Amino acid sequence: MQVINQNGPAESVLSTKPEPVGPSSSVMPRAYLPRALVVATLLVAYVIFEWVSFIHEYKGLPITPWNPGLGLVFALMVIGGARYGIVLFAGVVVAEIILLQSNLKWPIILGISAIIAAGYSTIAVVLRKTLRLDVGLHHLRDVLILLAGGISGAALVALLLCLFLLANAQLNLADIVVAAGLLFIGDAIGIGVITPLALRLALRGRKSSFRSLRAMLPDVALCVAVVVLSLWAIVGSEKVDDFKFFYVLFLPVVAIALRNGLDGACIGLTVTQLALVGLLHRYGYDARAFAEFQMLMLVLTMTGLIVGVVVMERQNAEGAVREIEALLRTKEAEAAHATRTNLVSGMAAAIAHEINQPMTAARALARSAQHILRSPGADLARADSNLTTMIAQIDHAAGVVRRMRDFLRRGRPHVSTIDIRSMLEDTLMLMRLEASTNQVRIELVASAALPPVDGDRTQLQQVVLNLVRNAIEAIAEARQVDGRIRVAASRLDAPARVEISVSDNGPGVDSGLADRLFDPLTTSKQEGLGLGLAICASIVESHRGRIWLQSRDAGATEFRFSLPLEQSQAT
């Protein structure tokens, strides 16, 4: 067995180097024991498969309706290399002597075994090393290469065996066509049905990810029932042309392939082949009938495998798309949080700036009230007025802190009725210090009579903050000393909506980016993630609105987004 890297060479588990043994030691290195055990197990499995596949001899050739043992060993040779051809060589020798009790001489038996082992070992090496076959059969190309290799290998070995026996006077020219045809069909079916199943099972849990047998159990049970009933109706009729109804078997095999991909196709084909050979043997069909059915089975095998791998490719592609979409959503959420987090330092300065005034005023008012109350003949009305004003200043400072906390709060969106002008004023307050630092003036044009909208105040603040911050950064990067940003809001009809615009006199937007600004990972900043505007678009769309670039010209860059009004507000 090997661990296969889909895009690289195989790493053999069985090729562990033997531990060094001292010159006086006669003990077999322990590293050889697992390999010998695997080889012995495979040899026993090959012989058992040959026995259950009703092997018989035709003019010295070991003929079987299908060759599952070859399919199993060929899969091992594709995975582990040509050295496992020794299992095939030994298996053929044992089958000739024990199962067939062949009367052929030893040199001929060894010659037959050597041709079979060398032929399929060569094909396996060509598939793995030259054609770069992915042993997990993840793509249509790999299945087609395996089928082409198995069919060509079966044809080559059949031809070489016939020529070998012809040279040794075991066959005559009239026997070659019959012998080669029977041998070719059995070997091709063995590789086509068993090898893909063995490859997928051998790599289960690694690159192949063989589907759970428990998950496929209902489909497999239904496939078995349909196949057995169909074959019993076809084979049990014992008509001369009963094989013409073989096309009925395409239905269960294609159905399980469509539902479960290549793994389902492999199991469906194995079930069909086992049932077919068993019933043909049960009703005593001759070699000619066997060959006719097996030729049809070869067509069914190719069809089922191709359908299965195409379905698997599509499932894998859809799974990859879902993973990418989930990753993108995660990154968008992380970027949204990172955007809020990155604003903390600027917002902290903004908080200090905004709180400084009311707190300074409150302190002065408190001292004044204290002085008044300590004076003889205190003016209580004046002290009360100072305390009232001081409380208002403290409430103002508390409101600044509360709005900042709401903006940074994480969790589910909170839908409420939003006063547009108030929302814009609070948002721009957060950016005032950063704008002043970069010598940028911000102007707000919004009527207090604008109708309210329903939505998440914090999320809409984030959209405005992102657009304003982008404008500030663009102006600062262009080193403009007279930067201006204009934030405007107005009501429009047909349909009823509130439209908010953010315009600036910065350097404009590059024409190559203009059409892709709201796509993820699109940015003109050297250290930007390219997710800010994509997040803005997602937020606006979640509010049933839309966002767009109104103008990309230098000195007149403008972004707009609109939010729909409820029907009651529109009227």
Asked whether 94 and 49 are in contact (CB, 8 A), the reply is no
Angle formed by the axes of helices 173-202 and 140-167, nearest 10°? 150
Find, among 367, 327, 350, the residue nearest to 401 by Cα. 350
Which residues is 490 bridged to in the sheet? 499
Asked whether 210 and 264 are in contact (CB, 8 A), the reply is no
Give Cα separations from 157 to 98, 105, 161, 264 (angstroms).
Answer: 22, 20, 6, 30
pLDDT of 349 reads 55
Fold of 343-410: Helix Hairpins (1.10.287)
Q: CA–CA separation, 112 vs 57, rounded Å?
A: 13
pLDDT of 510 reads 77
Q: CA–CA separation, 170 vs 162, rounded Å?
A: 9
| Token pair in block for residue 110 | 């060894």
pLDDT of 18 reads 40
Asked whether 394 and 431 are in contact (CB, 8 A), the reply is no
Per-domain residue ranges for the chain? 1-14+29-208, 211-284+299-332, 343-410, 414-570
Q: CA–CA separation, 229 vs 246, rounded Å?
A: 12
Find, among 61, 46, 173, the residue nearest to 109 by Cα. 61
Q: CA–CA separation, 527 vs 520, rounded Å?
A: 15
- What's the CA dihedral at 147, 150, 152, 156 to 10 degrees? -170
Q: CA–CA separation, 181 vs 193, rounded Å?
A: 18
Burial 453-464 (b: 16+ CB within 10 A, else e): bebbbbbbbbbb
Q: CA–CA separation, 463 vs 423, rounded Å?
A: 11
41 three-state secondary structure: helix
- CATH value of 414-570 in 3.40.50.1950, 3.30.565.10, 3.20.20.10, 1.10.3720.10: 3.30.565.10
The values of phi and psi at residue 493, to 5°, are: -115, 170
Q: Is the pTM of this model over 0.75?
A: no
- In the chain (571 residues long), the average pLDDT of successive 10-residue segments reads 36 38 41 66 82 65 77 90 88 82 83 92 92 90 93 92 84 77 87 91 58 72 82 65 71 88 89 82 73 85 92 88 83 68 56 66 81 83 82 74 60 73 85 80 90 86 86 86 91 90 88 72 57 79 89 88 72 46
Q: CA–CA separation, 203 vs 316, rounded Å?
A: 17
| Token pair in block for residue 457 | 């105040």
pLDDT of 445 reads 92
Find, among 161, 73, 178, the residue nearest to 123 by Cα. 73
Fold equal for 1-14+29-208 and 414-570: no
pLDDT of 13 reads 34
Q: Thinking of the domain 1-14+29-208, which architecture would CATH place it in?
A: Orthogonal Bundle (1.10)
| Token pair in block for residue 449 | 């009579």
Cβ neighbours around 284 below 10 Å, total: 8
Q: CA–CA separation, 502 vs 557, rounded Å?
A: 8
pLDDT of 25 reads 40
pLDDT of 60 reads 57
Would you give the end-to-end CA distance of the chain in angstroms? 75
Find, among 376, 356, 379, the residue nearest to 368 by Cα. 379
Give Cα separations from 571 to 443, 495, 508 (angstroms).
Answer: 30, 11, 38
Q: CA–CA separation, 15 vs 243, rounded Å?
A: 47
4 three-state secondary structure: coil
Q: What angle do CA 495, 497, 502 make, to 5 degrees?
A: 130
pLDDT of 527 reads 52
pLDDT of 538 reads 81
